[in-house]
Amino acid sequence: MSAGLLSAGVMTGLLFAVGAVGASSAPASTPPSAASSTGWATAIYTNAVPGVVAITSSGITSSSGESQVATGTGQVIDSQGDILTASHVIAGASSVTVKFQNGTARRATVLGVDRSTDAAVLHVSPAGLTLHPLTLGSAQSLAVGDPLAVIGNPFGYNRSLSTGVVSALDRTIPTPNGFALAHAIQTDTAINPGNSGGPMLNARGEVVGFVDQIATGGSGANSDTGVGFAIPIEVVKSELSQLEHGAPVTHTYIGASTSPALEADGALVQQVNAESPAALAGLRTGDLVTAIDGTPVRGPSGFVAALAALKPGETVSLTVQRNSRTLTLTATLANQPSNPPTG
């Protein structure tokens, strides 16, 4: 059975979300041994859980035309009533409800959505609420083996805690609009449907990412694989202002997909979309991209990450191996379209 990625709650090819459809110089974290400490987990949970909310999205239309309900998780990010979640949790919903730890439920409005990073910001009226914004930290200093905690609503079991470690960094995962996102955090922390949008916390209780996907062998849960992914909080921090004001978020687009090179470093070009920046630069299927602006490319993840760090309109130099020749191609990056071109 081939593995897929579990996302919002409706199977779409290999992407399936983790929202469930259904009824200083200090180290970034303490040593891994602290992650096994009950006191560590308890302290993280006690401090963070008031800022974690359960999200119910109603009115989602299934492929059969029936109305469905999706559940997920969100995290309070300020005292004005703004809440961060995964965009696939609220995709297609006609009504979104947020429920706080004390049982208070509020109707939420969607302020902004970025399907390229699977991020969304909701808003509820703060009147009468005592809000507990979570502290947004940084994923940049994470290392493999660092302890992590996740709080969410798996299978509707609200505000459940799970702990684990960073399994790997700089993974590339698909996004709801069909593009790829670099720098994802891989973890063995238990993540299941309903966790999407919830906080991933380091050992200091700071948010280092939001839960997004799991790899699944087909069961619809990660118990058989233990592989989950989170979007680094830096990705969201850089666009929070736009999302909170409903402004569009732009991303770079080159129009080429790549795969690992079997016997060499670099990214092997699998497809070049017609009239894309890659096509206009002369990139071809079968080319091996070995560097971008002189910096070596380490596989497809490195290719995506290098381009993601740039802005639309910027010009990049691609070092390419084509048969026995080394070429230098120049591409002017464009704005990422809403959906990947088909050819």
Among the candidates 219, 248, 277, a domain finishes at: 248
Pairing relationship of beta strands 15-17 and 4-7 according to DSSP bridges: parallel
Question: Does one domain contain both 118 and 144?
Answer: yes
Question: Does one domain contain both 205 and 281?
Answer: no
Indicate which residue of 88, 123, 183, 251 is catalytic: 88
Question: Does one domain contain both 190 and 127?
Answer: yes
pTM for the model: 0.81
- 118 is an active site residue: yes
Among the candidates 233, 248, 263, a domain finishes at: 248
- 132 is an active site residue: no
Question: Does one domain contain both 198 and 288?
Answer: no
Question: Does one domain contain both 149 and 201?
Answer: yes
Indicate which residue of 196, 257, 276, 301 is catalytic: 196
Among the candidates 204, 228, 248, a domain finishes at: 248
Give the integer Cα–Cα distance in Å for 144 and 125: 39
Domain range enclosing 230: 1-23+33-248
Indicate which residue of 118, 146, 188, 212 is catalytic: 118
Structure tokens at 136: 């947004």
Reply yes or no on whether the pLDDT at 303 is more than 70: yes
- Residues 58-77 have a mean pLDDT of 83
Question: Does one domain contain both 82 and 220?
Answer: yes
Which residue in this structure is represented by tokens 């995964």?
A: 86
Residue 256 within a domain? yes
Question: Does one domain contain both 299 and 240?
Answer: no
Reply yes or no on whether the pLDDT at 216 is more than 80: no
Q: Tell me the pLDDT of the chain averaged across its residues.
A: 85
Q: Count H helices and E strands in the chain, helices first.
A: 7, 23
- 7 is an active site residue: no
Q: What is the number of domains present in the chain?
A: 2
Question: Does one domain contain both 175 and 263?
Answer: no
Residue 164 within a domain? yes
Instruction: Catalogue the long-range contacts made by 163-167 (C-beta closer than 8 Å, 24 or more residues apart).
Output: 163/35, 163/41, 163/189, 164/35, 164/188, 164/189, 164/190, 165/32, 165/35, 165/189, 166/142, 167/227
* Confidence at 291, pLDDT banded by 50, 70, 90: very high
* Confidence at 153, pLDDT banded by 50, 70, 90: very high
pLDDT digits (tens, 9 = 90+) for 89-144: 999 899 999 999 999 999 999 999 999 899 999 999 999 999 999 999 999 889 99
Domain harbouring 67, CATH code: 2.40.10.120
Give the integer Cα–Cα distance in Å for 27 and 316: 35
Question: Does one domain contain both 44 and 180?
Answer: yes
Question: Does one domain contain both 183 and 259?
Answer: no
Question: Does one domain contain both 69 and 183?
Answer: yes
Handedness of CA 136, 176, 152, 98 (dihedral sign): positive
Question: Does one domain contain both 228 and 262?
Answer: no
Domain harbouring 300, CATH code: 2.30.42.10
